[in-house]
C-alpha cells in the first residue's frame, strides 16, 4: 500500500469521525473501485457503498453532459433517516458520505468540498 493511499484512508476516517452528523464515508476511483473507507465500515459494506456511489456518479455525470451542464459537482439524496451525498474529486474519483437525519447538510457539504480538495492534491501528487 502506497503512502498516498494510506494517507487517503486516514483522511476519510478522520473526516467521518470528526464531521458532525457523518456516519460513514468512502472514496471511489473513476472506474468504480473502492479506494478508501472510514474505519466504521466493514469491507463488504464499504464495497457496496462504493458501487452505489459509482452508479450515482455515472447517472449524474451523464445527466449533466446530456443537458448541457459541465459535469457533476454534488448529489444529495434524502432518505428516511439520513442522507447520501456524493461529490467529485478533481482526479475523477468521488467521495460518498452517509449522514444522519437532522445533520447540517450545508456543513457536511462544505467539509466534503474541503476533503475533496485535500484528496485531489494528495492523489495528483502520487
Q: Tell me: the pLDDT tens digits for 76-94?
A: 999 999 999 999 988 789 9
C-alpha cell at 54: 459509482
Chain centroid to CA 24: how far?
10
pLDDT at position 125 is 61
pLDDT at position 51 is 97
Rounded to whole angstroms, how far apart are CA atoms 23 and 117?
Answer: 21
Q: Tell me: the pLDDT tens digits for 36-46?
A: 999 999 999 99
Domain boundaries along the sequence of the chain: 3-125
Rounded to whole angstroms, how far apart are CA atoms 12 and 34?
Answer: 12
pLDDT at position 95 is 96
CATH of 3-125, one of 3.40.50.1370, 3.40.50.970, 2.60.40.3080, 3.30.450.30: 3.30.450.30
Average pLDDT, rounded, for the chain: 91
Low-confidence residues of the chain: pLDDT under 50: 1
pLDDT at position 8 is 79
Alpha-helical segments (H) within the chain: 3-18, 43-66, 105-125
Residue 5 Cα distances to 34, 54, 73, 122, 124, angstroms? 11, 19, 23, 9, 12
Amino acid at each position: 500500500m502506497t503512502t498516498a493511499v494510506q494517507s487517503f484512508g486516514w483522511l476519510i476516517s478522520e473526516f467521518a469521525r470528526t464531521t458532525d452528523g457523518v456516519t460513514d464515508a468512502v472514496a471511489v476511483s473513476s472506474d468504480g473501485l473502492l479506494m478508501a473507507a472510514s474505519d466504521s465500515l466493514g469491507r463488504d459494506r464499504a464495497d457496496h457503498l462504493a458501487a452505489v456511489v459509482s452508479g450515482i456518479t455515472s447517472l449524474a455525470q451523464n445527466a449533466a453532459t446530456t443537458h448541457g451542464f459541465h459535469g457533476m459537482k454534488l448529489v444529495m439524496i434524502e432518505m428516511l433517516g439520513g442522507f447520501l451525498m456524493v461529490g467529485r474529486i478533481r482526479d475523477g474519483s468521488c467521495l460518498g458520505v452517509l449522514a444522519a437525519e437532522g445533520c447540517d447538510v450545508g456543513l457536511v457539504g462544505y467539509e466534503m468540498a474541503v476533503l475533496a480538495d485535500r484528496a485531489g492534491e494528495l492523489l495528483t501528487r502520487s
